Amino acid sequence: MSSHSRVLKVLGCCLGLPVPALVYEDVENETLNIYGSIGPDYGDGSSLPWNVRLRISKDIANALTYLHNAFSRPIIHRNVKPASVLLDKDFVPKLSCFSFSISIPEEFVKEKPWNEIVDPKILEEEGVIDEEQQKLQAFLNLALRCI
């Protein structure tokens, strides 16, 4: 089993219940959503110092790089947002919320570039911008929440 210090660890699971349960490591603080924005929809308006925001951004980028590169089948999170980043007592981020994650099959990784995994016609029909713009937009949205 592989692990990364900035990815929330699963400690165990129980499949004997009517609804399966997962047990995760404990994190003392709220999500980045609470600390990254100011306004009535984001808690008490607490904000983090710049150096902490920058460290959180770097740590989450590091965790995503790990997921994309540490395995023969890259793991794509597909749900990176401030609410998916939990903060421990020292405001060390832990990436969580993997329910939308997918693992890219090896044949796609080795034979095709990333932009060919999804047919561009499908993206155009759905009104979705191209994949590179989507990635950039998601990253910038997360970075803006840290500002």
Is residue 139 one of the residues assigned to a domain? yes
Look at 126 and 12; give whichever has higher pLDDT.
Answer: 12
Is residue 91 one of the residues assigned to a domain? yes
pLDDT in tens, 8-27: 998 999 999 899 898 999 99
* Share of the chain residues as helix, strand and coil, in percent rounded to the nearest 5: 40, 15, 45
| pLDDT for residue 130 | 60
Would the pTM of this model clear 0.85, i.e. be above it? Answer: no
pLDDT in tens, 68-88: 888 888 888 888 988 999 999
Is residue 3 one of the residues assigned to a domain? no
Report how many domains make up the chain. 1
Q: How far does CA 46 lie from the centroid of its chain?
A: 22
Task: For residues 106 and 53, give the distance between their C-alpha atoms in angstroms, rounded to a whole number.
Answer: 35
| pLDDT for residue 36 | 60
Could you tell me the residue range of the domain that residue 71 belongs to?
10-146
